[in-house]
Structure 1
């Protein structure tokens, strides 16, 4: 079904106003190691135009787009935005739509757009205005019918490929960027959807005077002619730059005519992928041709390389014997006329001095050589915006008068980011942590544990069973939470990297929101397990039960901290799983239950086991504040029971001292010391995780 192209109005939806910007890049080269990716590539794109970067796979299309966006620093060359060198201030004015559709699969389309609007639009806009803007973008890209559909993934289907692609663009349109960079937006779409999408982008560029640069792989002829300018790459070099409708003529002049009824896009790509001699001819032709930036060379035979409108104007007069033709201001179209009323004074000077494109003097009778006088203007992409010098200086320094909000480092405050991200992290993590599979697993294991230790009497014979329940509970939830946290960062990494690269929020706000947003979810399943299994085993009193629950939850937080650290450091999930397995087995061996007689030269290792402190605390709580453990009827292993009495009646009436029970597992620390060590360890590991996120894995 064809998409309907709707009229766009910035004022009607309260969009943050942006001034139009011209993108000019000259002699851009990029090398990775000894491999040259780009070599002296040049081009430009003005507001209201769509520039397509084409070339075969591996020709450097995406690399050039990364360089223009500032994500990759070129080896040499210049890139200017609105006449000023590319810098961090342009981040708010450039949007980069990646080729991959990277989203949280559990969120709906509308939730995705709303969270993007709440994070990337300034606090000066009200929630109602942001909601209205989301509705407008949904209407613009014809996404209303699927706005409540989950994004989905491979195993759980949601949006279609075309809907995901438009959602990707919608997220970037929310900020009303001056410059839009799109990496192969039509890939994976059918011809009808791809054409409709390109029509929407072209209409957006023309109506709002946006600068749109796209990479295209193999477009149809209809999509090809939607593009105003074409930059063709061959082995990382310019093979053509200029008007899209003149590329066929340019190839014909190089001795490469196109066959009738042939798709021009297919034709030029076939030539670019042709023999080395053809490729060299194209590169040489691009270097010497009229499309070379700031290099206007007409051939010896009079042949005007002008825009179609000027060419049609000259065609009336070129056949006359003597004529002087000048295209003046009245025939020039200043591309930024009427963008915003508050900036009209910036355009007045431009309208008075809009340069002459071509002045031609021809006198056939006198056989004089034609005189070509070209005044360099915006058409030649000199790198200077049509805005006045005052405006350009403002762009490089303070914000423009067209901006309704200043380009601060962050679009929203820390509190706003924390609040929105906390809510989003909760929504993203809830179906994962509280899935029916995890819930069923928790209930089944709790019932099995409860049956295994059902109504265990507090006697010396069942002492090891009670300690077994405590060790199993602490160790199981350490494994469960640690591996769940370990996989959370790799699952979110691509989305977070994309959002960090666009400057959506602070890393500190994201990390703190992740910890707070997932906290109630992290506590839910262990709490359910505890109440089922401990109730079946037999409660001593409420205080003992709640203290044991507190230690179990603290142990899960410590395990989660380790999982987050491993996930933040290890980008390779397989490596992370291996490190996590080594850590958990180490803590299990030195936890104080499986091995009581640790060799003296290895005793230091138990102090590195976090389960060791949690297991000690649960023993202290259970045996100090819970029901006392009575001595065995015979052959007691505790000296106090043996010394107290030899008869069964005396043994049963005497309880085992807590000190002797704890001494079996080694010399214990106090309850508060163990708790303090766990809390300090948890805080240090979480701080280290933040440092890793903040400095180790910065997005390019």
Structure 2
């Protein structure tokens, strides 16, 4: 009893829901993928979708989840057409294990819980659910292990699969869709995983649909129902234990001691004549199993109705559901709330009338939405004592309201900021980046060590400023360029599941990585500038500000290129062209720019940062004395040789040597404005250009 109570505290309430798909056809780029596929799965059952590679298993799963819109056909969840509200009750476990590889298993689950569980739940309740999921899937022993990747080992393949499932179980979905969960696992691990799913479906009354490639015989018979696909069409749908008998009836007997899963897959991939026999046999099997005579009216559940229109070829048959309101109290409740819910698109459950005509190959017309006994019968133990504002209405009408996001913008921003900081810290502050920064800072400091403030050393001082701005532009631009491509799969997966807003993610990424972005340039500046000769505190911190601002602008450009270009190689090429362009017109390598190219310097962000660093250094820093011989500045030529070493070069002449300069405030405003515009463009690209399907 104590375990049951701990199991239910704080969990969002979900009603058991069945899944029915009827006449599903899908055409992508003029290529037919699925053709009139149908099937059902009820709460407490596990449905396996099998077929050879390219038969449409994943495409069908995508259609059921709502991620792909089928060309034709109907998909019903609990008797209602699939809609956004249902998508919140469906979890989709992808075939690939997509995570942030440097987070631990527990961190991954904690951040998922904080993002996807409603704000009405307390932090402690969410952590209790994380602990419970770790217990259910036997992941306690590895909860502090990083996810890992090829070059940095972490969780095993089976542990990653279970972690993938654990992230989806946190929201207590009514329907679980899993794309080849046993792929890449050994037979023992695969059997353990399917056993867990089977027990979860039965005990918690969940609807589980999986795609399997080549399961063992033990796993095969563990599944309740089987949907076998052949060239995107039904080759069998029904009880898994009857599939061998079905194939024998078609003249395809199985050899003794032969894995039935291997056998049926070999037949499906057999000659064209065998494939046609299987497709026609599937239709005949449905007709014989139901044995529907002419002009016969029967009672049936909504999940079965979707099969009639596909497989039965009978004269006009009238099928009705005989739902007793006294037997199902949910229907009585909805009778009272029907008038109150008129403004909601999804109506309350009632009877249905289906007409099937032999002369027409059209899908049946559903006059009213159906919700059968799955509405209230067999309620899962998750929902006995709890409810939440995300999925636990206090009245039947509330069940049909759609909460777009499980958490508020502030919650999403806070959690994502913490996660982005944890994800980015080992990457940005890696020992390799730290060593690189330290070595370059020391080399730069030694190269310009204690540079005297004289005309002979003027170019050296300017060289340090140009090198610093250009190096950190390159470093941050190319680091940011790889940021979105590295995270794209994770972000696409989480956006498709409706975990958070794009704006919350993007703002959290900028804020979470900000202190990390400043760390290495600041370390470099204090080492190299101190070795060159610190003028005063004001000059030093103003130069540091301009260096960091230039770094942020470069990072912004890198983020934009990374958000636009899916191909990293293309992004690197574009970034290289941009950095070389801004370097050439930065104002240090070339002073005599042809008049017809003079406009290009205003497109160089290094130009504005380098100008400002010159203004700050020579205005607020130590004065630069004239050369005693052959000075290139007019004011120094007019001074006698004896007085030259004590005569400072006017600031205006130093700045004029590098071309016409803008005021320091205008350069700063242009840099900040450029950064804001580029970051807004990046958000637009993330929001609209690469929206997940």
Category of TM-score, reference length = shorter chain: 0.7 to 0.9
Partner of 1:385 in structure 2?
A: 371
Alignment correspondent of 2:430: 435
CA–CA separation in structure 1 for the residues paired with 2:152 and 2:7: 39
Deviations 1:411-455 (A, max 9, x none): 000000000000000000000000000000000000000000000
Matched length: 623
The residue that corresponds to 1:79 in the other structure is 75
Query: Cα distance, 1:646 vs. partner?
Result: 2.4
Q: Does residue 678 in structure 1 map to residue 671 in structure 2?
A: yes
Q: Which residue of 2 aligns with 1:536?
A: 531
Q: 1:103 to 1:121 in 2, by over 3 A?
A: same
Flag structure 2 segments of 5+ consecutive residues without an equivalent: 295-299, 301-323, 336-349, 352-367, 378-390
Contact persistence 1:26–1:77 (CA under 8 A): yes
* Corresponding position of 2:192: 196
Q: Does 1:104 align with 2:97?
A: no
Q: Distance in 1 between matches of 2:676 and 2:65?
A: 37
1:227 lines up with 2:223 in the alignment: yes
1:412 correspondence with 2:419: no
| 1:343, distance to aligned residue in structure 2 (A) | 6.6
Mapped partners of 1:211, 1:8: distance in 2: 21
CA RMSD of aligned residues (A): 2.9
Q: Is 1:23–1:383's contact at 8 Å kept on the other side of the alignment?
A: no
Match of 1:267 in 2: 263
Q: Does 1:463 align with 2:449?
A: no
Residue in structure 2 matching 1:481, options 476, 481, 499: 476
Q: Distance in 1 between matches of 2:206 and 2:332?
A: 20
Match in the other structure for 2:163? 167
Say which of 293, 297, 306 aligns to 2:291.
Answer: 297
- Superposition deviation, residue 196 in structure 1: 1.2
Q: Pick from 25, 28, 35: which aligns with 1:29?
A: 25
* CA gap 1:602/1:533 in 2 versus in 1, 3 angstroms: same
Can you list the C-alpha shifts for 1:39-80, whole angstroms capped at 9, x where unaligned? 000001111111000000000000000000011111111111
User: Which residue of structure 1 lines up, in the alignment, with residue 467 of structure 2?
Assistant: 472
Deviation at 1:296, TM superposition (A): 2.9
Q: Secondary structure at the match of 1:532?
A: helix
Decide whether the 8 Å contact of 2:441 with 2:528 is kept in 1: yes
Instruction: Find the partner of 1:631 among 619, 626, 630.
Output: 626
Instruction: Calculate the TM-score normalised by the size of structure 1.
Output: 0.85
Check whether the contact 1:240–1:291 (CA below 8 A) recurs between aligned residues. Answer: no
Classify 1:12/1:390 alpha carbon distance in 2 versus 1 (closer, same or farther; 3 Å).
Answer: closer
**Alpha-carbon separation, structure 2, partners of 1:8 and 1:153:** 37
Residue aligning to 1:548? 543
What CA deviation, in whole Å up to 9, does each residue of 1:490-523 have, x standing for no partner? 1100000000000000000000000000000000
Select 2:582's aligned residue among 587, 593, 614.
Answer: 587
How many Å apart are 1:219 and its aligned residue?
0.5
- Distance (Å, rounded) in 2 between the aligned partners of 1:628 and 1:530: 21
Aligned to 2:456, the other structure's residue is in SS state coil
TM superposition shift of 1:199: 1.1
My pick for the range that moved more, 33-42 or 682-691, is 33-42
Give the aligned partner of residue 663 of structure 1: 656
Q: Map residues 291-440 of structure 1 onto 2, 5 A cutoff.
A: 296-297=290-291, 384-387=370-373, 401=395, 407-440=402-435
The whole-number CA distance in structure 2 between the counterparts of 1:291 and 1:424 is: 55
Cα distance in 1 for residues equivalent to 2:203 and 2:666? 68
d(CA) in 1 for partners of 2:374 and 2:145?
47
C-alpha displacement of 1:609: 0.1
User: Would the aligned equivalents of 1:22 and 1:385 in 2 still touch at CA under 8 Å?
Assistant: no
| Counterpart contact for 1:24–1:383, Cα < 8 Å | no
Aligned in 2, Cα 1:8/1:297: closer, same or farther, shift over 3 Å? farther
CA, structure 1 residues 110+389, in 2 after alignment: closer, same or farther (shift >3 Å)? Answer: closer
Alpha-carbon distance, 1:258 to partner: 1.1
List per-residue Cα deviations over 1:360-392 (Å, max 9, x = no partner): xxxxxxxxxxxxxxxxxxxxxx9833149999x
Query: What do residues 279-302 of structure 1 show as CA deviations (whole Å, max 9, x unaligned)?
Result: 00000111222279xx933799xx
1:20 shift after superposition: 1.0
CA contact (8 A) 1:122 1:405 kept: no
User: Could you say which residue in structure 2 is the equivalent of 1:359?
Assistant: none
Change in Cα spacing, 1:10 to 1:254, as seen in structure 2 (3 Å) is farther
Name which of 640, 654, 673 aligns with 1:646.
Answer: 640
**Cα distance, 1:383–1:209 mapped onto 2, change above 3 Å:** farther
How many Å separate the matches in 2 of 1:570 and 1:238? 40
Change (3 A) 1:40 1:455: same
Match of 1:239 among 215, 229, 235: 235
Q: Does 1:117 align with 2:103?
A: no
CA contact (8 A) 1:239 1:286 kept: yes
- Counterpart-to-counterpart distance in 1, 2:691 and 2:48: 29
State the Cα distance separating 1:16 from its structure 2 match. 0.5
Question: Displacement, 1:401?
Answer: 4.0
Structure-2 change in CA distance of 1:277 and 1:399 (3 Å): farther
- Matched residue, 1:153: 149
- Local SS of the residue matching 2:290: coil
Seen in structure 2, the aligned counterparts of structure 1 residues 10 and 223 have a Cα distance that, compared at 3 Å, is farther
